[in-house]
Amino acid sequence: MTFEDAIGDILKANSNLTDLCSNIYGGIAPQNGSLPYIVFNRSGQIPTPDKQANNIGDLLLEVDIYASGYNEAIEIADAAREALDLATGSYTGFDFSRARFDSQSSVDYDPETRAYYTLQGYIIWYKYT
């Protein structure tokens, strides 16, 4: 299992989120995908050297939320934060010790996609097992 698989599972398991937005994609959204949708990507990874182990670090995650309306974008962003903030879990090959909400941009409008969007950032502490 990859980090991205685990993130997708966490998001898709939250019914408050999926009731608002069931289109959740790792990497990129399909071209001409229907609104609303969420796209998440690993934006970085910072290993944390430790005297006892070299298998821990921080995973930087970006979550992009696209919706047809301003309020819808805010509502979906709040549900995504509810799903991810402080999430933990054990997966094949690694554990998430804790996900921490880090930031969110203001909602903006993209005339090209005709969508309102906001970007969230998370830091996820992980340990390879």
CATH number of the domain encompassing residue 94: 3.30.2000.10
Number of folded domains in the chain?
1
- Predicted local distance difference test score (pLDDT) of residue 52: 67
pLDDT band at 78 (very low <50, low <70, confident <90, very high): very high
- pLDDT over threshold 90, residue 49: no
Domain that holds residue 93: 3-128
Stated pTM of the model: 0.92
Q: Following DSSP, what letter does each residue of the chain receive, concatenated? A: --HHHHHHHHHHT-HHHHHH---EEES-PPTTPPSSEEEEEEEEEEE---SS-S-EEEEEEEEEEEESSHHHHHHHHHHHHHHHTT--EEETTEEEEEEEEEEEPPPEEETTTTEEEEEEEEEEEEEE-
- Mean pLDDT, rounded, of the chain: 94
Mean pLDDT within 36-61: 87
